[in-house]
Copies of this chain bind each other. A is one copy, B any other.
């Protein structure tokens, strides 16, 4: 597959530096590429609904400790009586970034040595009370747009992406061509890599861990997917596998650079196998996608239950 030459270090640098969207929606913009989702775009997304089938893209809230879940979420119960009845209530707690929880990344989540989204300085914007720029409440009205499935295992005829064959940007373009899909500005792309099949085939290998850093290995999307996101004016990338590691270039973030360079949102650890299956069943590659992040002032993202509606 990767007959095409890999980008040079200079080209990769150019993805992040030369093509960035800083200032595109104003120098103080905190919404980023989600600006591409206009009211008209939402109307068009709703027009896609035909059968009414709803599919969740969320993994279960990750309560169980495990190799892929070194900081398990908390779920604690209480019951209380009330008159001659009662009620149950519970506490949810989660450090949701990492590889266990389906969550959205806000624009403030990552940065490189230069800056955060729109050129801001993380030393100033990241405080003990939360982020003061690019935080998740700027997406409070939700992300409602056309979602498009890019099913890599189906394209390749394999169960999953593997360590030796990362997903390159040109392969995503190949899928568009082969499937006859035309991306439009503001679309959300769902890149399915078969993570669960990969995990089943590699039961003793953790996909990743929080704080794992750059030294890890894991299959996923190559940094060459960055220009794909930029060229097509994608608003959000939903993926089950994340950045391929090692990156292979001396940069702190590969595809995750789309947050600070392009203002493109990320939906990490999406559960995409049921969605991929639904696309096959329905004979479609597009659907109405709805993501409703919790309205946390200063939050760096949010756990979420994204919904695809056919």
- Interface of A with B (CB < 8 Å)? 38-43, 46-47, 49-56, 58-61, 63, 65-66, 70-72, 74-80, 82-98, 102, 108-113, 122, 126-131, 137, 140-142, 144, 209-211, 213-214, 250-253, 288, 290-307, 309
Query: Least Cβ distance of A303 to chain B in Å?
Result: 6
Asked whether, in the complex, the Cβ of B112 is within 8 Å of the Cβ of A93, the reply is no
In the bound complex, CA of A39 to CA of B92 (Å): 30
In the bound complex, CA of A90 to CA of B92 (Å): 14
Asked whether, in the complex, the Cβ of B209 is within 8 Å of the Cβ of A65, the reply is yes
Asked whether, in the complex, the Cβ of A213 is within 8 Å of the Cβ of B128, the reply is no
Query: Least Cβ distance of A1 to chain B in Å?
Result: 28
In the complex, the count of this chain's copies comes to 4
Q: Which residues of B contact A63 (CB under 8 A)?
A: 296-297
* A295 contact from B60, B88, B209, B299, Cβ within 8 A: B60
Given A83-B214, A92-B303, A128-B78, residue A52 in contact with residue B42 (CB < 8 A): yes
Q: Which residues of B contact A97 (CB under 8 A)?
A: 87, 89-90
Q: Which residues of B contact A86 (CB under 8 A)?
A: 110-111, 122, 252
Interface centre among A51, A54, A87, A309 (most CB of B within 10 A): A87
Given A142-B305, A305-B292, residue A76 in contact with residue B76 (CB < 8 A): yes
Q: List 25 A-B contacts (CB under 8 A).
A: A46-B52, A56-B141, A60-B137, A60-B296, A61-B294, A61-B296, A77-B128, A78-B129, A79-B122, A79-B126, A84-B112, A84-B252, A85-B113, A87-B97, A87-B109, A88-B126, A92-B94, A93-B94, A128-B128, A142-B305, A142-B307, A144-B309, A290-B290, A294-B303, A295-B305
In the bound complex, CA of A298 to CA of B288 (Å): 28
Asked whether, in the complex, the Cβ of A77 is within 8 Å of the Cβ of B127, the reply is yes
Q: Which residues of B contact A291 (CB under 8 A)?
A: 292
Q: Which residues of B contact A84 (CB under 8 A)?
A: 112-113, 252
In the bound complex, CA of A211 to CA of B122 (Å): 25
* A144 contact from B98, B130, B140, B307, Cβ within 8 A: B307
Query: Least Cβ distance of A199 to chain B in Å?
Result: 18
In the bound complex, CA of A86 to CA of B251 (Å): 11
In the bound complex, CA of A53 to CA of B43 (Å): 9
Q: Chain B residue with minimal CB distance to A257?
A: B85
Query: Least Cβ distance of A252 to chain B in Å?
Result: 3
Q: Which residues of B contact A90 (CB under 8 A)?
A: 95, 97, 130, 296, 299-301
Given A128-B77, A144-B307, residue A295 in contact with residue B59 (CB < 8 A): yes
In the bound complex, CA of A264 to CA of B49 (Å): 25
